Structure 1
Amino acid sequence: MAQPIEEILNHFFGEHQASKVVLAGDAGAGKTWVARKVCDAALKKELSYGSIWIVPAENPEKKPLLDTIASQLSLLSCDEEWVDDEDSEEVKEKKDKEQEDLKTRILDKLEKMRTGKPKNQALNIDRGIQGETELGHEAAAGKLRYLVVVLDNITEEEEESIVTELKNILHSSFLKMLIIRKESTDGNAGAARESKGDAIQPDDTKAIRLEPLSSRDALILLRGRVKTEVSENQMLAIAEKALGLPAGMILVAEALNHICLEDGVQAFEFAMDDVAKMKGDDITAVLQFAYDMLPEETEIAQLPSLSDLVELRELLLKGCKKLTQLRGLSPLEKLEVLDLSGCCDLIIGPEESFSRMSRLKKLDLSGTKIESLPLDCFPSNLRHLSLRDCNILKQLPSLESLSKLERLNLCGAESLPKFKADFLHHMVKLQILNLSKTHLDELPSLSHLTDLTELSLSGCCCVPTGLEVLTELKVLDLSGTEVQSLPLENYSKLHKLVLSNCSELDTSMNFGSLSHLEVLDLSGTKMTHFPYEVEHLPYLRELHLLNVKQMQVDWSRSGIFSNLKKLRLDCCPKLVSLCDKSAKYEMPMMQTLELLDLPSLSRIGVEMPSLETLKVRACVKLEELEWNCFMNLKKLHLDCCPKLVYIFYPAKLPENLETLKVQLCNKLETVFKGDESGEYEMPQIQTLELLYLPALKRIGVEMPSLETLKVRACENLHDLELNRFPNLKTKEIDLVSPS
Structure 2
Amino acid sequence: KLQGIKDVEYLCLDKSQDVKNVLFDLDREGFSRLKHLHVQNNPDFMCIVDSKERVPLDDAFPILESLNLYNLIKLERICQDRLSVQSFNELKTIRVELCDQLSNIFLLSAAKCLPRLERIAVINCRNIQEIFVVDGEYDAIDHQKIEFSQLRTLCLGSLPELTSFCCEVKKNREAQGMHETCSNKISSFEDKLDISSALFNEKVVLSNLEVLEMNKVNIEKIWHNQLPVAMFLCFQNLTRLILSKCPKLKYIFSASMLGSFEHLQHLEICHCKGLQEIISKEGADDQVLPNFVFPQVTSLRLSGLPELKCLYPGMHTSEWPALKLLKVSDCDQVTVFDSELFSFCKSSEEDKPDIPARQPLFLLEKV
Shorter-normalised TM range: 0.5 to 0.7
CA-to-partner distance for each residue in 1:144-183, whole Å, 9 max, x for gaps?
xxxxxxxxxxxxxxxxxxxxxxxxxxxxxxxxxxxxxxxx
Measured in 1, the distance between the counterparts of 2:207 and 2:148 equals 8
Q: Residue 522 of structure 1 contacts residue 545 of structure 1 at CA under 8 Å; is this kept in 2?
A: yes
Change in CA separation of 1:534 and 1:726 when aligned onto 2, cut-off 3 Å: farther
Alignment of 1:544 with 2:95, yes or no, is yes
| CA shift for structure 1 position 658 | 0.7
For the residue of structure 1 that corresponds to 2:321, the secondary structure is: coil
Structure 2: tracts of 5 or more residues without a match: 51-56, 137-141, 164-196, 225-230, 313-317, 338-359
Aligned length: 263
| CA shift for structure 1 position 496 | 0.9
Q: Show the counterpart of 1:573.
A: 127
Q: TM-score of the superposition, structure 2-length normalised?
A: 0.62
| CA shift for structure 1 position 508 | 6.1
Measured in 2, the distance between the counterparts of 1:678 and 1:726 equals 16
Q: Show the counterpart of 2:26.
A: 487
Q: Show the counterpart of 1:651.
A: 256
Alignment of 1:639 with 2:244, yes or no, is yes
Q: Show the counterpart of 2:275.
A: 668
| CA shift for structure 1 position 477 | 2.5
Which has the larger share of strand?
2
Amino acid in structure 1 at the alignment position of 2:200: I
Amino acid in structure 2 at the alignment position of 1:646: Y
For the residue of structure 2 that corresponds to 1:718, the secondary structure is: coil
| CA shift for structure 1 position 677 | 4.3
| CA shift for structure 1 position 612 | 0.6
Q: Residue 703 of structure 1 contacts residue 725 of structure 1 at CA under 8 Å; is this kept in 2?
A: no
Q: Residue 83 of structure 2 contacts residue 107 of structure 2 at CA under 8 Å; is this kept in 1?
A: no
For the residue of structure 1 that corresponds to 2:278, the secondary structure is: strand
Matches within 5 A, 1:657-696: 657-674=264-281, 677-696=289-308
Measured in 2, the distance between the counterparts of 1:537 and 1:588 equals 16
Q: Show the counterpart of 1:604.
A: 200
Q: Show the counterpart of 1:711.
A: 328
Q: Residue 691 of structure 1 contacts residue 714 of structure 1 at CA under 8 Å; is this kept in 2?
A: yes
Change in CA separation of 1:522 and 1:663 when aligned onto 2, cut-off 3 Å: same
2:62 to 502, 515, 521: 515
Q: Residue 578 of structure 1 contacts residue 604 of structure 1 at CA under 8 Å; is this kept in 2?
A: no
Change in CA separation of 1:502 and 1:688 when aligned onto 2, cut-off 3 Å: same
Change in CA separation of 1:506 and 1:597 when aligned onto 2, cut-off 3 Å: closer
Matches within 5 A, 1:402-421: none
CA RMSD after TM alignment: 3.2
Amino acid in structure 2 at the alignment position of 1:659: H
| CA shift for structure 1 position 589 | 1.5
Which has the larger share of helix?
1
Q: Show the counterpart of 1:477.
A: 12
| CA shift for structure 1 position 621 | 3.3
Matches within 5 A, 1:407-446: none
| CA shift for structure 1 position 472 | 5.0
Measured in 2, the distance between the counterparts of 1:705 and 1:481 equals 52
Measured in 1, the distance between the counterparts of 2:17 and 2:11 equals 14
Measured in 2, the distance between the counterparts of 1:725 and 1:474 equals 57
Change in CA separation of 1:678 and 1:604 when aligned onto 2, cut-off 3 Å: closer
Measured in 2, the distance between the counterparts of 1:677 and 1:662 equals 26
Change in CA separation of 1:727 and 1:491 when aligned onto 2, cut-off 3 Å: farther
Measured in 2, the distance between the counterparts of 1:565 and 1:549 equals 24
Q: Show the counterpart of 1:524.
A: 71
| CA shift for structure 1 position 689 | 0.9
| CA shift for structure 1 position 470 | 4.4
Change in CA separation of 1:502 and 1:620 when aligned onto 2, cut-off 3 Å: same
Amino acid in structure 2 at the alignment position of 1:575: Q
Matches within 5 A, 1:40-439: none
| CA shift for structure 1 position 723 | 5.5
Q: Residue 46 of structure 2 contacts residue 77 of structure 2 at CA under 8 Å; is this kept in 1?
A: no
Q: Residue 242 of structure 2 contacts residue 267 of structure 2 at CA under 8 Å; is this kept in 1?
A: yes
Change in CA separation of 1:514 and 1:673 when aligned onto 2, cut-off 3 Å: same
Change in CA separation of 1:491 and 1:556 when aligned onto 2, cut-off 3 Å: closer
Amino acid in structure 1 at the alignment position of 2:93: E
Change in CA separation of 1:524 and 1:537 when aligned onto 2, cut-off 3 Å: same
Change in CA separation of 1:625 and 1:655 when aligned onto 2, cut-off 3 Å: same
Measured in 2, the distance between the counterparts of 1:487 and 1:481 equals 12
Measured in 1, the distance between the counterparts of 2:364 and 2:34 equals 50
> Larger radius of gyration, structure 1 or 2?
1
| CA shift for structure 1 position 476 | 2.3
Structure 1: tracts of 5 or more residues without a match: 1-464, 729-739
| CA shift for structure 1 position 713 | 0.5
Amino acid in structure 1 at the alignment position of 2:78: F
Measured in 2, the distance between the counterparts of 1:619 and 1:589 equals 24
The share of aligned pairs that are identical, in percent, is 24
| CA shift for structure 1 position 529 | 2.3
| CA shift for structure 1 position 683 | 0.4
